[in-house]
Amino acid sequence: MANETKQFDRDAIATIRGLAMDAPAKAKSGHQGTAMALAPLVHTLYSRVLKFDPTDANWADRDRFVLSAGHASILLYSVLHLVGQGVALDDLRSFRQLGSLTPGHPEVGHTAGVEVTTGPLGQGLANGVGLALAERWLGTRFGSDLIDHMTYVVAGDGCLQEGISHEAAAFAGHQGLGKLVVIYDDNKITIDGKTHLSSSVEEAARFESYGWHVIQAGEIGEDCDAIERVLLEAKAEQRRPTLIVMETHCGFPSPQWTDKKEAHGLAVLGDDIATTKAILGLNPEESFTILPGVIETYREVLQSRVAMHTAWNERLSASNNGEALVRQLGQLAVDEVANALPAFEVGSQVATRNALKACLNATASALPQLLAGSADLTENTGVALSGSTVLDAEHGDGTQIYFGIREHAMGAVMNGLALHGGFLPVGGTFFVFSDYLRPAIRLAALSSAHVIYSFTHDSIGVGEDGPTHQPIEHLASLRAMPNLELFRPADATETAGAWASAVAANGPVALCLSRQNLPVLSGTVAQNVGLGGYVLNPEITSPQVTLIGTGSEVALCVEAAQVLQEHQVEARVVSMPSLGRFLGSSKSYRESVLPHGVPTISIEAGSTFGWSAVADVCIGIDQFGLSAPASEVFTELGITTNAIVEAALSTLGGLK
């Protein structure tokens, strides 16, 4: 039996390495060296350690595997083919080609068996922290008989050098995420050359300082039994996350390219492939070879994993917690949330960040999936949950997360929580600091991860904090991002509508909220926020000019319309909480709000970029802000009622 196992290991590893050479070579694009080096690790993980059901990629209690070094995607695709998880041999032949299931970097939702979208280095590691955090929460709340799985992450030098790894690893260590295992592929090679060109960091010491369990595994990259031992040792450590430092050789066993920087990319070609295949016992004349018995043995070995899933289904049916877990993992109660929204008194003064806090707390009982946190700005960003317990190493199912001053990690951890299933993460920071988590926002959009950002202090209303803290280009920038919805509500009533729309969304949502108090307007309607834009004063049936505003500037439009009436000018006021939604609505609806022949003026305390899509005249700020009291900054930069009135009268040809 031992000999049969050894033969299976040799043949499976040789097959994976052959595919790792052939697919990029055929595509004339890709990364071979890391995939070749890590073939024994991934084979051992999938054949001996990983708990998963190859017939059901969505089993809730499966172990999660994240290839943070996403450039080595052919490694993952190859093993997914061998275990029978939806990737066909023709998909490997179509590696990196249009419409294939094997894109250049793994994409969640595109290829079965891919847990998160990786590529930008370090993101997958931080996503893994979110996955592990989700597992601990569910296991604490519903019991280890229903939720008890590991998260394994393969990371390279690039993942550890990127700053996000520092933020995410420190957070994971503080949280004591014992079911998180990161395997560091210490091959000492980057694209530029040896790692010592740019780094002298002792990674083991760094992670130990974060509170991680560190295993210095050494040169075990070709020894499946040794790899299994360290993986099981890591699995047994339940108090701390584990970093396994495993030394490998990029491009092994290529005689020409092993340990060369060129092996990181596409180096093993032509005669080099043939020579390396001969070393592996593969036919040098064949491509995409699957050695006899490899697939059959994988499927035989994995029958026990299918049986684990069957047994789990039985436990779920018999458990007193089963129904609650199914609800947790199921659809959000969108209708219940809409019915529980708070109402706000017209004329009262409420900062929209405080309105969000009221919405979160009013609807929390309808959303068991809700987790809220911030980057050290919990009260400031309206994400404090009343009566909540802190989510930490002692309280695994708390609902209030303290991320610390780690915006980038916060965004990526939120993605992991959402993509795990069972959670609606809400994370808060000042809008200007969305720059710090923008890479994670982009991956949320790519992944359709349902996360919600509370971006407060949304304009020059920040005042004395000055231009470093006053967002200018941020609204235009995030509106340009595909698959990200952005709402900038005019008042507390619209904030309630924006929260309901965010809960009902199918992907990431940014709520841009005010620091300063705003009047609750008589014309705003929560249910209309989902339309993107709507008329606040429908009694004006024959407008001569249309005034469009978002956020705090809608109140200025209302005031300007009143002033214009004194000049015998009928002005329609349109609130545009979501420019993207409005532009995506039907032509007939858009024309009902912005009728042909009526000049339009937009005003927003930010860049005017993009507003020409709906406005003839755009009032905004195309420079950085100023340090002064907010009212003075608004006046100095021309975000005023008078500016709107003057623009309207000028557009209409002067005073009436």
Nearest residue to 235 via CA among 154, 181, 302: 181
What CA–CA distance (Å, rounded) separates 378 from 554?
A: 27
Residues forming beta bridges with residue 486, ordered by sequence position: 510
Distance CA 656, CA 652 (A): 9
| Interior/surface letters 4-17, b for 16+ CB within 10 angstroms, e for the rest | eeeebbbbbbbbbb
DSSP notation for 303-326: HHHHHHHHHHHHHHHH-TTHHHHH
Report the amino acid identity of residue 12. A
User: How far is 126 from 113, CA to CA, in rounded Å?
Assistant: 18
d(CA 167, CA 406) in angstroms, rounded, equals: 6
The answer to whether the CB of 380 falls within 8 A of the CB of 427 is no
First to last CA, the chain: 97
Report, as residue numbers or ranges, the catalytic residues: 407
Number of residues in the chain:
656
The C-alpha angle with vertex 396 and arms to 392 and 398, in degrees rounded to 5, equals 75
Q: Please state, in angstroms and as integers, the Cα–Cα distance from residue 347 to each residue in 43, 185, 350, 571, following that order.
A: 65, 60, 9, 21
Partners of 189 in beta bridges: 194
Cα–Cα dist 470/459, whole Å = 6
Structure tokens of 450?
Answer: 């349902």
Strand partners, 52: none
Q: How many CB atoms lie within 10 A of CB 587?
A: 7
Q: Residue 572 — φ and ψ, nearest 5°?
A: -85, 140
- Taking the CA atoms of residue 128, residue 130, residue 135 and residue 136 in that order, the dihedral angle to the nearest 10 degrees is 120
Strand order in the sheet with 534-535: 534-535, 571-575, 545-549, 600-603, 617-619
